[in-house]
Structure 1
Amino acid sequence: MEVGMLSFVFIAILVIIGLSILFSFVPVMLWISAMASGVYVGLTTLIGMRLRRIVPARIVNPLIKARKAGLDVDIVRLETHYLAGGNVDRVVDALIAAQRANIDLVFERAAAIDLAGRDVLEAVQMSVNPKVIETPVVSAVAKDGIEVKVKARVTVRANIDRLVGGAGEETIIARVGEGIVTTNGSASSHKEVLENPDMISNTVLAKGLDAGTAFEILSIDIADVDIGDNIGARLQIDQAEADKKIAQAKAEERRAMAVALEQEMKARVQEMRAKVIEAEAMVPQALADALRSGKLGVMDYYQLQNIEADTRMRRSLGGRDEAKSDHEGENQ
């Protein structure tokens, strides 16, 4: 009796363990939920998902949601997208939102958008409810040299057909900034931009800046326009300062050259004076040699002395006259 009881308990334990393993490997409750929702998914299909390392709930629950929304989606495509690394639930939600908004979006395109790294549901929502992108402050200089600072708000709508391969928000902001700089730079005066800020919007919209992007620009509104610095005057001041420094450098160069020339002339004068002194020192010796050799007589020597004395007297008188005239000029 006791042996039979032990055998029954042992068998019961084995049955419980087997059922636990079975229910953990085969999602029976998920299968029952799918059948209750009118979606037939075979147990073999669920077991195959387990073998393919697919979480059945991530396939079956989006499938139930899609079938309830009236979408023609089969389980094979959902499994393929999951194995490719996509977000099945997000794709199904995007398809349902697109169907409700009468947007032509098929599963293949939605899966491609999701695999491209973009949020397909957000894209569909942005197609229905446009998004406002605010640009940073863009600084540009008008022709009169005044800096104009502009901030714009760009209203965009997602373009489903260009989401794959299309540029993002950064490109839109960069292109709008380029249009602002072009418009302000071509204005003859900053007052034109202040009086007509819509000229910026018109110029930017006319350029078709949404080409090649994942968005369609609906409108561009100028949120704020401010006046910055007088860049033209600052540049003129900087140029004048640079010209001044160049002129000072050239003047210093000329002064240095003049000083060098003066030093050179002084050296030459000193050299000439030395030669004159040397020549004057040789005159008495030459006179003595002339007297000894008879080439110069005594009377000639006296006459030469008289001429030299007369010359010194004239120089002395001439110096007095010049000093007197300078003194009279100072008194006058």
Structure 2
Amino acid sequence: MENYTVLIWVIGGIVALFIFFYFIPVNLWFTALISGVRVSLVELVLMRVRKVPPSLIVNSLITATKAGLDLSSKDLETHYLAGGNVPTVIKALISADKANITLGFQQATAIDLAGRDVFEAVQISVNPKVITTPKVAAVAADGIQLVAIARVTVRANIQQLVGGAGEDTILARVGEGIVTSIGSAGTHKEVLENPDKISKLVLQRGLDAGTAFEILSIDIADVDVGQNIGAQLQTDQAQADLKVAEAKAEERRAMAVAEEQEMKAKSQEARAKVILAEAEVPLAVAEAFRSGNLGIMDYYKLENIQADTDMRDSIANPQQKSSTKRKGSSDKK
């Protein structure tokens, strides 16, 4: 029984020591003390209560102190509670201080909380970065397409990292400048002979305004000749004009056919009127016989005159007579 009591006391003592050293990290306090960092045990305990890892704050504070930076544990703890990356900020501050770049703690934390890698920004500021643009196609004044690739050397602008535009904006502006420069060239040969003209014209436009970068240089890496856009446009225009002309010709043909059909209809209408008029002649002759205005001899004279007229027409136009006979025979059949 006494053995069990002793075992319980031993286990309780171990647990108590573990809890004591967990909430009161004496080793960490001693490490900070010999490193020249003033952090009390109470502050370390309060960090545990606020769920802030004391080792992260103390180690970052030791690193900053050894680098000559004047920071406090409260500043680092506040940045951690705000969701920032404390070690990255410390590395960025040390790199900026060694490179003689003006970067304060408040500015570094603001950049970090904005979602940008402040340490990478300092590195790009020290060691400029080269961005390669995708292929940019543009057409010169002579209608020849050119495809250009540019390499843009940029340096991070620390003062505009918060709220400044990123790499996509730089690429878009450089691409727009290349298109404008090639489009303003008289011929594509001018661009091929002097590609540096594109770089000079693009640099003069101040494309890095409002961005998080400063453009140091723009170098045209490659320029290739593409399609003959001018000739292609002329071909398309010629095909379009041909289709318009064909449509107008078809319209005129349709109008001519309609007019011809209309004339045929009018001719048939006139022929019908003549037939109706000729049908009234026998009636008029019969009426003249009944009224005594026309005698039998007069009728025979009229028939002789008509026969004489038909004979003269047949002599003058024998082919017309033969065709008329064939037509009459076919009508009788």
- Could you tell me how far 1:285 is from its partner in structure 2? 2.2
Q: Distance in 2 between matches of 1:6 and 1:247?
A: 112
Is residue 2:158 matched to residue 1:160?
A: yes
What residue is the counterpart of 1:327 in the other structure?
none
The aligned residue for residue 73 of structure 2 is 75
Residue 170 (structure 2) aligned to one of 158, 169, 172? 172
Deviation larger for 165-174 or 11-20: 11-20
Q: Tell me the CA shift for residue 288 of structure 1.
A: 1.8
Q: Is the 8 A contact 2:314 2:320 kept in 1?
A: no
After superposition, the C-alpha distances for 1:2-51 in whole angstroms (9 at most, x for unaligned) are 64x55444322221110012222333332232223221211110110111
Give the drift of 1:267.
2.0
Match of 2:258 among 253, 257, 260: 260
Residue deviations 1:148-182 (CA, integer Å, cap 9, x gap): 10000000001111111111111110000000000
State how far apart, in whole Å, the 2-side matches of 1:155 and 1:187 are: 25
Q: Pick from 167, 181, 204 the counterpart of residue 183 of structure 1.
A: 181
Q: Partner letter of residue 113 of structure 2?
A: L
Give the Cα separation in 1 of the matches to 2:80 and 2:12: 36
Say which is worse superposed, 11-20 or 144-153, in terms of deviation: 11-20
Number of residue-to-residue matches in the alignment: 321
Structure 1 stretches lacking a partner, 5+ long: 324-332
Identity of aligned residues (%): 65
Give the conservation status (yes or no) of the 8 Å contact 2:92–2:119. Answer: yes
Structure 2 segments unaligned to the other structure (5+ residues): 322-333
| Letter of the structure 2 residue corresponding to residue 254 of structure 1 | R
Tell me if structure 1 keeps the 8 A contact 2:147–2:226: yes
Tell me the secondary structure at the aligned position of residue 118 of structure 1: coil
Please say if residues 164 and 210 of structure 2, whose CA atoms lie closer than 8 Å, have aligned partners that are also in contact: yes
Structure 1 Cα separation of the partners of residues 208 and 175 of structure 2: 13
In structure 1, the partner of 2:30 is: 32
Which residue is equivalent to 2:218?
Answer: 220
Residues 1-332 of structure 1 mapped to structure 2, 5 A cutoff: 3=2, 6-320=4-318
Name the CA distance, whole Å, in 2 between partners of 1:188 and 1:303: 95
Q: Distance in 1 between matches of 2:239 and 2:26?
A: 87
Partner Cα separation in structure 2 for residue 308 and residue 229 of structure 1: 82
Q: Deviations over 1:191-234 (max 9, x none)?
A: 11101101100000000111111111110000000000000111
* Mapped partners of 1:9, 1:320: distance in 2: 150
| RMSD across aligned positions (CA) | 1.7
Offset at residue 309 of structure 1 (A): 1.9
Compute the TM-score of the two structures, normalised by the length of structure 1.
Answer: 0.92
CA–CA separation in structure 1 for the residues paired with 2:35 and 2:319? 137
> Residue type matched to 1:67 in 2?
T
Secondary structure (helix, strand or coil) at the match of 2:317 reads helix
- 1:281-308 per-residue CA deviation (whole Å, 9 max, x = no partner) reads 2212211211221112334323322321
Q: Which amino acid aligns with 1:259?
A: V
Higher mean alpha-carbon deviation, 273-282 vs 84-93, is at 273-282
